[in-house]
Structure 1
């Protein structure tokens, strides 16, 4: 498996076009930081939403009818996210970005800010993030969640000040989290839909890490990479929707390991390929002297 991965990385690294290294991450990469995944036995939906089904609770329709309850839950998650730190996988990705520079892109489904906190710069948050809010009626631009609004325990109510700060200054309607809910569509402004698909099209390799492919844009990203000749590397602990997509394809590699183990191996291979490439350039330059 390592030899196959080395060959895939070497081919992508030496290309002059479609040579982008893209990493697509999901909730699995943050689990080592202590953030539960969404649909497992101890998942965040089970612990935080009074046992609502995700497709019921995580919707704009539910927010419209129960804004205070949804904000209470959102601020519970805010407190959870603020209590944890990036794990080794997040830091490995930063080191890989430092080596690849502009040839590196990270597309994440996570709203927990851990990639940014680790130091990743070339990042596309396709499910939005919990740092920002916007008017539920569509007024004005996306803004930062006011610093005065703190994270809460799951049984802690909004204060009068919280409610005041969470009302749109333009129309008086409730502000809402700048995230994608189950009854909404991907767009460019919040979800970087077209930017992420363009990156996928030009990716020599798409590494899929810690995500099962339960939503349609991540699957479309993988399909785009395959369509234009890129290779998919599925890094998860078990089979998933991406596995089904690529199982009959030639340009794929399936790795069943933790994200940290796989990323350490990827980083080492890229480092070796980069050093060998630099040596070849030096030798070529010396031969012209």
Structure 2
């Protein structure tokens, strides 16, 4: 505990002009009752028992099963809507108020809980379920998912009229959720890859909160922070892909405990650190 406290204080001291960045994953939302992706009760298991995540969560699958994917999307939206932000979400809002423009929040979560808690300076690198875009990419436009479509239970299908609301207003092609699927690549327009890499380059202290490191951009953000002299604290209940990739790096540290517990410690260090 003392070593992590020292690391936090050193990071805060060096961050007078640089960023202090938080990278959040599914583990942050699990305390709100939202299952993680790959656990025994994971969201893929609940909603897609006939598919493996790597096959269901793809544009290829959507191209052949658009109605099924949209039905599952509204099931997920219902799950997210019924959840409430937890202690960790609100702690990040409080920390943002303390750190002001130095605070950056990069999230892999698409559940909208950070926004509902009040976070402002944040980047959604896996998209969100508030928006949709043309599946044929006829334009760069992003549209709100129609609120007229009610949220769905697990096996409740979309009606014909509801499906009619999920077409591109420009070309008439079916729209798709504005999220990143397994067979797609990060880009700046939808997923802020360039922006977040610049943030990481100028980050003195990066905290990984509840992310397993199973996707490419989060690993690139950690690598970028370390390469340019920043420190990284991996806050998770257990070792993960980040541990495997970066455990030998001098400025990479592990904190094995809850995200809420760590953020409480972090807030206390902000308040007693005279350099803030």
Q: Shorter-chain TM-score: which interval?
A: over 0.9
Is 2:260 the partner of 1:230?
no
Structure 1: runs of 5+ lacking an equivalent: 279-289
Offset of 1:244 from its aligned partner? Answer: 1.7
Structure 2: runs of 5+ lacking an equivalent: none
In 2, the alpha carbon distance for the partners of 1:270 and 1:253 equals 19
Is 2:170 the partner of 1:149?
no
Partner of 1:176: 176
Offset of 1:160 from its aligned partner? Answer: 1.8
In 1, the alpha carbon distance for the partners of 2:246 and 2:237 equals 16
Distance 1:58-1:173 versus aligned 2 partners, 3 A rule: same
Relative contact order: is structure 1 or structure 2 higher (C-alpha 8 Å, sep ≥ 6)? 2
Offset of 1:18 from its aligned partner? Answer: 6.1
Partner of 2:128: 129
Number of matched pairs: 275
Deviations 1:128-158 (A, max 9, x none): 0000000001123011111112210111110
Superposed CA RMSD? 1.3
Partner of 2:186: 186
3-state SS of paired residue (1:277): coil
- Using the TM superposition, name which of 76-85 and 141-150 deviates more: 141-150
3-state SS of paired residue (2:78): helix
Offset of 1:50 from its aligned partner? Answer: 2.8
3-state SS of paired residue (1:51): coil
Q: Which has the larger radius of gyration?
A: 1
- Using the TM superposition, name which of 239-248 and 65-74 deviates more: 239-248
TM-score in terms of structure 1 length: 0.92
Offset of 1:17 from its aligned partner? Answer: 6.4
What does 1:1-289 correspond to in 2, within 5 Å?
Answer: 1=1, 3-15=2-14, 19-140=18-139, 141-273=141-273, 276-277=274-275
- Using the TM superposition, name which of 257-266 and 3-12 deviates more: 3-12
Offset of 1:243 from its aligned partner? Answer: 1.0
Q: Could you list the structure 1 runs, at least 4 aligned residues long, displaced by more than 4 angstroms after superposition.
A: none
- Do 2:237 and 2:258's aligned partners in 1 also have CA atoms closer than 8 Å? yes
In 1, the alpha carbon distance for the partners of 2:134 and 2:275 equals 50
